[in-house]
A and B are shown apart, each in its own frame.
Chain A
Amino acid sequence: MSAPETAAPPRILVVEDDAPIRRFLRIALGSAGFATLEAERGRTGIELAATAAPDCVVLDLGLPDMDGKAVIAAIRAWSRVPILVLSVRDAEAEKIAALDAGADDYVTKPFATGELLARLRALMRGRLDRTREPAVQAIGPLTVNFASRTVTLDGREVKLTRKEYDVLALLARHPGRLIAHRQFLTTVWGAAHAEDTHYLRIAIGHIRDKLGDDAADPRFIITEPGVGYRLVEG
């Protein structure tokens, strides 16, 4: 749980109207080596995102002055800063709308601090490591070689179709990060198929079969019901 070995600690903007939550996030994030910026309202959140250039934004969707999705859209207008959304359970439509608006991941309230930190790290890694994309990604016994477009499990090659490989590769490039249905579909199948989630479901089913993965007890691919998938972290 040590902070990255950089000169300045990464700064995280917390946009949340509930004071006790801000308070505990400040303590928890501070202990994990992050610096926190706090905003109580959506408007101040957008201003801070623009002026303070945080490394990541933690955003509560239920804000008194404006809609959380509007905040995402406003930030996305000029910035690609990773945005982690805090939302209540059972609001899949809300989550999808937030992801569609440009959020990168979400955590359901209430959440354990460890989970939040893990998500934040996954998001930050993608951002921090963007410059040097690895040629090979290893998750336990699973290896994805982006250069040769091959996948091996326990050293044996797994035969995948092109679409299946593309799906798995997309997951493997961002281990631990949520990839939304729409993102899969537009990246792998093209924008025309953005709504055809059954393509994705079938492809994921085949990949799981070939990797010997079980949806009920996942080793590699975790389902976020109604939202998307994420690959476990190595």
Chain B
Amino acid sequence: MVGSIEERPAPEAFLEEARTEARGRGSPGRLKIFLGASPGVGKTYAMIEEARTRQRAGVDVVVALVETHGRAETAALLGSLEQMPRRPVAYRGQWLSELDLDALLARHPQLALIDELAHSNAPGSRHPKRWQDVLEVLEAGIDVTTTLNIQHIESLNDIVARITGVRVHETVPDQVLQRADDIELIDLPPEELIKRLKEGKVYVSQQIGQALENFFGKGNLTALRELALRTAASRVDAEMLAYMQANAVKGPWPTEERLLVCINEAPVAKSLVRAGKRMAERARIPWIVVTVLTPRHETLPAGARAATMEALRLAETLGAETVTLHAESDAAAEILRYARSRNASRLVIGRPRAGGGFWWKIAGLLREPVADRLLDAARDFEVTVVTAQAKPAAQAWHAGLDLRPAWRGYAAALAAIAAATLLAWPIGAWEAVPGGAISAIYLTAVLVVGARHGLGASLVATLLGSAAYNFFYTAPYYTLAMSHPEDVVSILVFLVGAVFTGTLAGRLKAQVESMRATQRRTETLYDFARKIASANNTDDVLWAAAFHIAATLDCRSLILMPNAEGGLDQVQGHPSIEELDARAEGAARWAFERNAPAGAGTATLPTSDWLFVPLATGDRPLGVIGVRFADPGRSLDPETRRLLLAVEDQVAVVVERARLAEELADARVSAEGERLRAALLNSVSHDLRTPLVTVIGAVSALAEDDGELAAADRRDLATTALDEARRLDRYVQNLLGMTRLGHGALRLRRAPVELREIVGRVRADLARTLAGHRVAVTIPRDMPMLDVDPVLIGQALTNVVENAAKYAPLGSTITIAAAASGGQARIEVSDEGPGIPEGERERVFDLFHRAAQGDARPAGTGLGLAIVRGLVEAHGGTASAEAGPNGRGAAIVLTLPLAAPSLSEEP
């Protein structure tokens, strides 16, 4: 973490930016909030009245949820408006009715009335809070009006609690308030409110009910009223500011100053965050909440780490930028360096724990608290120190010192001291040894315990050691009393020495552990990068990603990708693919559709065991990553987020790469098709035309003849034309055959047939072609019959023989030989031509193989041998090219099935 923050924007910022962009599509609905200082000021009434006005103006208004609390006036007012049925929810034997979010989204009115923005939904609802429902409704493009009391605003929560003594747990983040397009303050003088209360016109919730007298005191109401007015006013201020900025009105703008709130695991953190929010708002400057992770952090109990994360999440909810810094030792310096880099001139820190207790004081001897060092070093900063208001007893845990896992360390301390005592006993009995040697043995024991079990155990060992030393080696022996003053001194020296030794050893251990953790992370990241680099398909990459996430975050992991039907499929998981319940599936779907985290530890479906984060680089998620932490208290902390971000990027890049590769392959296939089409065109234009040249030439000579042609010549021309017309017919037949083969439309009419008959037919067809060659046929007399379609195999054999005639020199011999072996006929057609080079022997069966050679070649469609192979294979046979007999010329070898003997014997 050595400083490159100045140059490098935080990854979280990118992420947030991308997501905001993604969310910004479409036009969201307008939000109007009726704000009141306390219950009973008439917010709901005002809201309904306004809705009626708008309905008369032709707006499609629906009452999604309004609580009348049995008040007749309100109910009467509602009468003319369309009301939606509520969704019943069973909860602990009771029936609660909640907002039916899906029905509202389906109904899609122009304006929806949703009362009580701060309401908490029944467990199991899609969102835990109603304001989250409202945000979803707004996102769907529906306008919403709602009501809110001042004490439910998150940043005012502390103040209201201090004023009224009642802390409400239902809060609404300030961001929702900022999101509102309109805020209408419903104001009622306190006297009037008290009067209404006495008339029973005010509904009071249970929480406040318990402190009714207290809450509705005139002083409280006045204070709350002021708070409400101030909130509304600051809102007007902010609007004015935005207007002036938008319209480039010149003014004394503050420079881009920032407020930096430093928090750690201390309980005061949340109060710090709330105080920071108020200060930033008042000063109208952006604020950052920062926490520093040091090696010590690794040794903190899970509860302490969770507290920090909770405070950070609160800060996020309140609209702060949150940052996690890393420092090896000097957290204060890191904070100041960061503050300077972000132009934050104001710091908010918590008061160092004064009088924290015995352990803290001992530790404090070695380490000055961060807050003190900050105060010392931050000379050019304005530093505000905040003290916690109340000590929440429930959250009391020892923050600074890790005394856990306690019993193992303590047992080790006890054992070490016992061992030291046993070892020291015989030495102590030896008069010549000075007392210092004994304390050195105990110090060694403390050192060993500290190095192996940390600070707490070493301190226990120190105490035990000094007691044992006192007991065994100071007079009077075997009592804890001491008679010699020098013994007191040596015990004290031992104590101080042991504390230092133990502390140092403990910190060493913490640092070593932290380094180990870092190294582990680095190793897995490196491992991951290596795996990703070597993975050549998407599956491998996803597997590597799932493994890496699981290994690094100590969790079970899943990767889900959309399938063809638009659903999400688990494509990878570590250790394996999981059974997801409906809630987890809902969270996954939500995360994918909204491109935002959902599930455990988030605002959406938090009761799910799984946390899902979108796997996205741009605005469109490729899928979602699901994690289920082994430690249920853990959630989406910055460390996790950074890791997921790194994985996301890698995976997205590789998925993109795979997609491009697929496209490339598609392009190649289409190029192949293009090449084939060009070859076909070439073939048709050249090879089909060649016979036509003769046909047209000969026939035109006959047609133009004025009786000058000799009778023999006329006949000759006519037969030539006829032969060529037949050749043309064979080509066309081949083309058609190829098409039929290609479409699988070839129907075989198998029959037992003699090869000799087929050969005879071929020779007759090719009589003129073969005129210049000798043809030798060697077929055994007892050759069994073939089980083939005689017409198609005739065509195949014609192609083979014609091919041989084309290449073999005039006057040479073409041999057609056949033999039966192993239930198959082997037919070999060999010539004495130039032969086929070994590398070409397979390729001659390719479609249009010879097309590549251009025009300069014997006529032929380049289909011949391809069709031979197609026809023969359709019969279950094979076709291959070999060297001719004695290595001379070429041989085309066909194997074909023989007819069953019984069939062969039939006539």
- Interface set of A (CB-CB < 8 Å, partner B): 1, 17-21, 23-25, 27-28, 30-31, 61-67, 86, 88-90, 109-114, 116
Task: Tell which of B685, B686, B694, B727 touches A24, judged by Cβ atoms closer than 8 Å.
Answer: B694
CA distance A64 to B855 in the complex (A): 8
Q: Besides A20-B724, A113-B701, 6 other CB < 8 A contacts?
A: A1-B706, A31-B705, A62-B854, A88-B689, A111-B700, A113-B698
Minimum distance in angstroms from B60 CB to a CB of chain A = 68
Task: Tell which of A19, A24, A66, A116 touches B717, judged by Cβ atoms closer than 8 Å.
Answer: A24
- Greatest chain A CB density within 10 A among B700, B716, B721, B858 is at B700
Asked if A110 and B698 sit within 8 Å, CB to CB, the answer is no
- Give the tally of cross-chain contacts (CB within 8 A): 95
Chain A contacts for B697, CB-based, 8 A: 21, 24-25, 28, 110-113, 116
Asked if B704 and A88 sit within 8 Å, CB to CB, the answer is no
CA distance A67 to B853 in the complex (A): 12
Closest 9 CB pairs of A and B: A112-B700, A62-B855, A113-B701, A110-B696, A20-B694, A24-B698, A28-B701, A110-B693, A110-B692
Q: List 20 A-B contacts (CB under 8 A).
A: A1-B708, A20-B723, A20-B724, A20-B727, A21-B697, A24-B701, A24-B721, A28-B701, A30-B713, A62-B854, A64-B856, A65-B856, A88-B685, A89-B685, A109-B692, A111-B693, A112-B696, A113-B698, A114-B704, A116-B697
Task: Tell which of B686, B691, B705, B727 touches A62, judged by Cβ atoms closer than 8 Å.
Answer: B686
Q: Is B83 an interface residue (CB 8 A)?
A: no
CA distance A116 to B689 in the complex (A): 17
**For residue A19, which residue of chain B has the nearest CB?**
B772
Chain B contacts for A31, CB-based, 8 A: 701, 705, 708-710, 713
Q: How large is the interface on B (under 10, 10 to 19, 20 to 34, 35 or more residues)?
A: 35 or more
Chain B contacts for A86, CB-based, 8 A: 693
- Greatest chain B CB density within 10 A among A20, A63, A86, A111 is at A20
Provide the main secondary structure of the chain B interface: helix
Chain A contacts for B710, CB-based, 8 A: 31
Chain A contacts for B700, CB-based, 8 A: 111-114
Asked if A27 and B716 sit within 8 Å, CB to CB, the answer is yes
Provide the main secondary structure of the chain A interface: mixed
Asked if B694 and A64 sit within 8 Å, CB to CB, the answer is no
Asked if B855 and A23 sit within 8 Å, CB to CB, the answer is no
**For residue B695, which residue of chain A has the nearest CB?**
A110
**For residue A87, which residue of chain B has the nearest CB?**
B855
Asked if A20 and B691 sit within 8 Å, CB to CB, the answer is yes
Chain B contacts for A61, CB-based, 8 A: 855
**For residue B810, which residue of chain A has the nearest CB?**
A40
Minimum distance in angstroms from B239 CB to a CB of chain A = 72
Asked if B713 and A110 sit within 8 Å, CB to CB, the answer is no
Minimum distance in angstroms from B586 CB to a CB of chain A = 65
Q: Is B54 an interface residue (CB 8 A)?
A: no
Asked if B694 and A23 sit within 8 Å, CB to CB, the answer is yes
Minimum distance in angstroms from B807 CB to a CB of chain A = 10
Chain B contacts for A24, CB-based, 8 A: 694, 697-698, 701, 717, 720-721
**For residue B700, which residue of chain A has the nearest CB?**
A112
Chain A contacts for B704, CB-based, 8 A: 112-114
Asked if A88 and B694 sit within 8 Å, CB to CB, the answer is no
Chain A contacts for B721, CB-based, 8 A: 24
Chain B contacts for A65, CB-based, 8 A: 856
Q: Is B676 an interface residue (CB 8 A)?
A: no
CA distance A90 to B689 in the complex (A): 13
Chain B contacts for A111, CB-based, 8 A: 693, 696-697, 700
Asked if B690 and A18 sit within 8 Å, CB to CB, the answer is yes
Minimum distance in angstroms from B805 CB to a CB of chain A = 10
Assuming the contacts A110-B696, A111-B696, asked whether A27 and B691 have C-beta atoms less than 8 A apart, the reply is no
Chain A contacts for B408, CB-based, 8 A: none
Chain A contacts for B525, CB-based, 8 A: none
Mark contacts of B815-859 with chain A using CB atoms, 8 A cut-off: 1 yes-contact digit, 0 otherwise. Answer: 000000000000000000000000000000000000000111111
**For residue A17, which residue of chain B has the nearest CB?**
B858
CA distance A159 to B855 in the complex (A): 47
**For residue B702, which residue of chain A has the nearest CB?**
A113
Chain B contacts for A21, CB-based, 8 A: 690, 693-694, 697
